[in-house]
Amino acid sequence: MSSHVRSVSRRRIAAAMFLVTALGILAGCGTGNTSSTADAASRACDVAAPAEPQTVNILAFSAPSIDPFTDAIVKGCSAADNLTLNHTPVDFTGQIQKAQLALGSEGNSPYDVVEVYNSTLVEYASKGWVAPLDDYISKYEDKYQLGDVSEEAWAGVTYDGKIYAVPNQVNTQILIYRKDLFEAEGLSAPTTYEELVAAASKLGGKVDYPLSMAWGSDDALLDGFHGWLAAGGGKWFNDDNTPAFDSPEGRKGLEQMKGLLPFMPKDTLSFGNGDVMGLMQQGKVGMAIIWASRAAPINDPNASKVAGKVGFAPAPRGMSGIPAGENSVDGFAIAKNSAVDPETLFQIVASTTLNKDVQRDASEVVLPARMSVQNDTSAAQPHWGASFENIAGGAQALPAVPFMDPLTKSVVNPFLAKAVTGALPVDAALRQASAALNKTLLDQGHLK
Amino acid sequence: MTATAQHPVDQNLKRTVRTTAVRPMRTRRSRSATTALQKTIAYLLLSLAGLLSIGPFVWVGLASLKRPVDAFSLPPVWDFTPTLQAYQILWNDRGFGHFLLNTLLVGVLTTVISLLVAAPAAYALSRFRHVSGLWILLAALVFRALPRMAVVLPFYYLARLTGLYDTQVLLIAVLVAVNQPFTIWLLRDFFAGIPEELEESAMVDGCSRIQAFRRIILPVAGPGLVTAAVFTFLLAYQEYMIPLVLTQTSAVTLPVFIAQFSTENIQDWPVISAAAVSLALPIVGLVMLAQRFLVAGLTAGSTKG
Amino acid sequence: MKRREFTLLAAPSVVLMTVLMIAPLVTTVVLSLNQFSYGTSLKWVGLKNYAQLLASPELHSSLLFTVLFVIGTTTLKLFLGFALALLLNFAVRARSVFLGALLVPLVVPPVVGALIYGWMFREDIGVGFYQYLLTLMGINIEWFSSTPGAIALLVGQNVWQDISFAALIFLAGLQVVPAEPLEAALVDGANWLQRQRYIIMPSLSGLFAFVSMMSVMDSFRIFDSIAVTTGGGPNGTTESLMFLAYKVSFQQSQLGLGSAMSMLTVIGIVLLLVPFLVLTKRQFRNAR
């Protein structure tokens, strides 16, 4: 009898739990949207409404530096007549996978607008998957004040002399360091590799890890190598697209990375940018070379224990005087096989993502593409100075070849990982990486 | 050692039919052979296993109630002001409810259709002794084991060809195709445990085979159907690769939705935690309700009828 | 049962399997004999993709990892699952509470489960609660930067999420262990271990086969959980066959090669399933 009573009450608890969750569903669906950028975004859309109802699908991964612009498009233009906007929530690898499938298949693309950065843009443009926008840019130059967009931003979305995307931001890898620790040790922000190593040595014992980098061997390790390769004056490819990184500069750069690893957490080779940012936020790291878009969260008291204690400087320079950081530009491109009129799509993207209010609202997490916002002192952020110096100092984007990310990345990374951890000597690793990449490029017809 | 040749579940079900007096035996054993010490050890071990099992959920459950700055902090921050911010972002800003409902819809429909398709086939396979039955069974086994990558590209092309990309219809059709081999396997065992005399006597009374199956066999196999339903639902609802490739916005399911938060943005981690909790709770509730049937279904099948 | 009745009842299932499983599989076989990428047309290369794969050290290392993973997870699931079932069978009181707790990881999608399980063992970032406890106890295992550690992490994750399935099956089996031999053994004074070894386990051997079969199937095609925890690291030593296939297809855009990789995995699975296929066949014959 008693066991019967017990089982009934248990069942009742389970049922109640289920009900609460079910009610939660209703509550969740009933309430409206509370995003901070909603206001600016909802006024932004300035598009000639299409005659027929159109649905526009946007493919963009979710990240602090991308969300404000995706939101601006979706929320801004959903109010326009005859337009429905959908955004697919995905992560970055999901975006790449879906973009390749959508743009590379026959028939109308399920996605009309696709988020791109330098390397993906070049790949899609070279394959003819995205539409050139030069005509629309000149037609709408005045209406959307496109002359205000910075040269670096346009350069990042140009391939073979044509513009293939509407850029919304410039990003660059800067040095973010713990001002308080540096001051206590009498250090100043390192400007060269040697100073970086010296500072890291001095921070040893003062903080859990003197240094941290996003060197995940499944992704960003190649970006790390790119920084040190460029800083040493090396390059990835020859003019005929054959690999050129198995060079004295490449070996030097990789040796330098190997020299930095002892100052970093053990699991560095599994780190993405988020991990490095998280370590910074928890005050476990003395300094990091990381994307400037991560600066604001590191300085946010709601998320960070070191808010107000961090300084920003350009990435340390190598032999060639170039900072060991990478530049990138993000923007939205228009699928060539979209069923929607490309001119409408261009208007949607340009009027929202380049809207001054949207750009100003996003300035905390990005360096906006608009010069007028970059020069607006009321929008200025503490990390912008370092970013400007980095860019002016010649920090380089990944080479504009159509096989950089993810192809080169996924072929070369395993060898870089082996070299940095000492599983392979540096020269052997680079030789093998170069040979493997050469073979893959030949196989896939990128080399003659 | 003849037992090895027998198949697991139906062998046990057949046994059940023969040995009904299991319970008295167990109580006697526990009275005679169990000491208080043994009992304590057993409960301690079970508690440990239970703790290890839910440990990660408790930890992220706590994290989901903290501000990002405290969420993941070691040694843990114990005195914190709980905030529902993560749930707010998840449910309001990101529309978790919409994806949850869609996932439940896809999961339930997949389960129902899988059962409708698989139950007759499983019953037929348990009664039909021709070698073609064996081939179907072996094929189903191999399909159960098939890696998703081996079929996703064709599925994507099929979706684009038929214009059914990003529809629940195609997603459900594919999920049914992928999952029903397993449903067949589970159900065949239950049906095999049901004595054939049962439907034979019904058919003597003038029922057709189909009628006998519907009116006599299916009701008896109730717990088995519940068990098969639960596992089929779980498989459909946990699937990641297939919805990733076949959906866009309208038909996106939870595993794909949650992957968007990825690890790139550590401020999302409390949100992922909130999602893990929001996702586990209703299903745990459901499983707790179905648990009785689950064990009974896996155990007894035919004796309950 | 008459053939006509059988055809009628089994037809929907067989049609479904033919259209949505066999047809896609055949398509993949055809694709695997071609070289192509996104948006390029097929170029017939015959068995070149297979030859290239069989000669590649990456395939060998991922095969090694996959086999280790299958052996590790299956053994643990059998042992611990059976142990849990014995405990649960013993603990009549509060059984459903324990069972409920054990079932939580099983119902959560592997992508989410693996992610939070991985967090528990992170060392540096303040999310690794288990790692923190281990460090307090003076135990320091490199879960992400050493190969044995990473394999142990992945095996542990898989066992953590799936163990309750095994326990549930064994528990169900234990409830119907035939009474007579057990009683005879009790009368003869057989101790607990002897009873398990000579009576309980043989009578559950079918269930052991079933649980190992399910575990082998699921472990051999492991992908999701690796992608969100080790990412194949360190140094690619935890790349499973399916992880490699994903990398080749979706990161390196070599769709023909990726299809061949998938087909090799299918062949591998079928080979591993042979004992179970034979078992099924024998059982089918016996039932005739």
Predicted pLDDT at B264: 67
The pair of structure tokens assigned to A252 is: 């030097």
Q: Give backbone dihedrals phi and psi of A10, rounded to 5 degrees, phi first.
A: -65, -40
Residues of the domain holding C234: 63-240
Which range, A228-232, A374-378, C104-108, C281-285, is most confident?
Answer: A228-232
Per residue in C231-260, pLDDT (tens digit) is: 888 888 999 999 999 989 888 888 999 999
Predicted pLDDT at B56: 93
* Domain contains C255: no
Distance in angstroms (rounded) separating the CA atoms of residues A322 and A345: 38
Contact C202 B117 (CB under 8 A): no
Cβ pair B192, B17 in contact under 8 A: no
Largest CA distance in chain C: 75
Residue A76 CB-half CA count within 13 A: 25
* Shortest distance, CA B285 to any CA of chain A (angstroms): 5
The pair of structure tokens assigned to A211 is: 């240094």
Contact B69 A302 (CB under 8 A): yes
3-state helix, strand, coil in chain A (%, to 5): 50, 15, 35
Selecting from A127, A267, A421 the residue whose C-beta is nearest the C-beta of C123 gives A267
Spell out the residues 6+ positions from residue B155 whose beta carbon is closer than 8 angstroms to its own: B174, B242, B245, B246, C24
In order of their start, the domains of chain B are 87-299 (1.10.3720.10)
> Per-residue confidence at B299, pLDDT binned at 50, 70, 90?
low
Spell out the residues 6+ positions from residue A438 whose beta carbon is closer than 8 angstroms to its own: A242, A243, A447
Task: Specify the CATH architecture of the domain A38-170+328-392.
Answer: 3-Layer(aba) Sandwich (3.40)
Name the nearest CA neighbour of B151 among C53, C259, A69.
C259
Coil vs helix vs strand at C141: coil
Coil vs helix vs strand at C224: helix
Q: How far is CA C137 from CA A266, C131, C134, in A?
A: 20, 10, 5
Coil vs helix vs strand at A54: strand
Residue located via tokens 């693309």: A109
Q: Which residue type, as a one-letter code, is found at position A155?
A: A
B195-210 average pLDDT score: 84
Contact A270 C236 (CB under 8 A): no
| Helical residues (DSSP H) of A107-178, grouped into ranges | 118-126, 134-139, 151-156
Selecting from C96, C233, C251 the residue whose C-beta is nearest the C-beta of A269 gives C233
Contact C249 B149 (CB under 8 A): yes
Neighbours of chain B (3+ CB pairs under 8 A): A, C
* Domain contains C250: no
Largest CA distance in chain B: 73
DSSP letter, residue B165: T
The pair of structure tokens assigned to B117 is: 């398709």
Predicted pLDDT at C187: 76
Tell me the chain C residues in contact with residue A270 when contact means C-beta distances shorter than 8 Å. Answer: 144-145, 230-231, 233-234
Examine the pLDDT at B288 and tell me if it is beyond 90.
no
Selecting from A7, A18, A32 the residue whose C-beta is nearest the C-beta of B285 gives A18
Q: Which residue type, as a one-letter code, is found at position A344?
A: T
Tell me the chain A residues in contact with residue C142 when contact means C-beta distances shorter than 8 Å. Answer: 266-267
Q: Is the peptide bond between B255 and the residue preceding it cis, with omega within 30 degrees of 0? A: no
Total structural domains in chain C? 1
> Per-residue confidence at C171, pLDDT binned at 50, 70, 90?
confident
Residue located via tokens 């998938």: C262
Name the nearest CA neighbour of A323 among A331, A315, A332.
A315
- Regions of chain A where pLDDT drops below 50: 1-38
Rounded (10°) angle between helices B222-238 and B96-127: 130
> Per-residue confidence at B211, pLDDT binned at 50, 70, 90?
confident
Predicted pLDDT at B121: 94
Examine the pLDDT at B38 and tell me if it is beyond 70.
yes
* Domain contains C107: yes
Examine the pLDDT at B298 and tell me if it is beyond 70.
no
3-state helix, strand, coil in chain C (%, to 5): 75, 0, 25
> Per-residue confidence at B110, pLDDT binned at 50, 70, 90?
very high
For position C124, which CATH number holds? Answer: 1.10.3720.10
Predicted pLDDT at A375: 93
Examine the pLDDT at C175 and tell me if it is beyond 90.
no
* Shortest distance, CA B149 to any CA of chain A (angstroms): 13
- For chain A, which residues make up each domain, given as ranges? 38-170+328-392, 172-327+400-443
Cβ–Cβ contacts within 10 Å for residue A356, how many?
A: 17
Predicted pLDDT at B94: 83
Q: How far is CA C87 from CA A43, A296, B50, B192, C169, in A?
A: 64, 52, 12, 29, 14
Q: Which residues of B, range 204-263, sit inside 8 Å of C by Cβ? A: 209-210, 213, 234, 237-241, 254-255, 258-259, 263
Cβ pair B97, A24 in contact under 8 A: yes
Cβ pair A90, A61 in contact under 8 A: yes
Distance in angstroms (rounded) separating the CA atoms of residues A252 and C282: 64
Predicted pLDDT at C288: 55
Distance in angstroms (rounded) separating the CA atoms of residues A298 and A292: 10
Distance in angstroms (rounded) separating the CA atoms of residues A47 and A44: 9
What is the CATH number assigned to the segment(s) A172-327+400-443? 3.40.190.10
Selecting from A35, A97, A282 the residue whose C-beta is nearest the C-beta of B93 gives A35
Predicted pLDDT at A22: 38
Contact C179 B22 (CB under 8 A): yes
Predicted pLDDT at C90: 82
Contact C236/A at CB under 8 A: yes
B28-51 average pLDDT score: 77
> Per-residue confidence at B292, pLDDT binned at 50, 70, 90?
low
Coil vs helix vs strand at A415: helix
* Shortest distance, CA B245 to any CA of chain A (angstroms): 7
Q: How far is CA B192 from CA A30, A149, B185, C45, in A?
A: 49, 72, 11, 48
C139-162 average pLDDT score: 94
Predicted pLDDT at B73: 75
* Shortest distance, CA C139 to any CA of chain A (angstroms): 16
Per residue in C110-138, pLDDT (tens digit) is: 888 998 999 999 887 778 899 999 999 99
Strands A165-178 and A367-368: antiparallel
Q: Report CA Rg, chain C.
A: 23
SS3 annotation, A203-224: HECCECEEEECCCCCCCCHHHH
Distance in angstroms (rounded) separating the CA atoms of residues B144 and A45: 49
Q: Which residue of B has its CA nearest to C210?
A: B8
Name the nearest CA neighbour of C52 among C232, C252, C273, C270.
C252
C39-50 average pLDDT score: 91
> Per-residue confidence at C192, pLDDT binned at 50, 70, 90?
confident
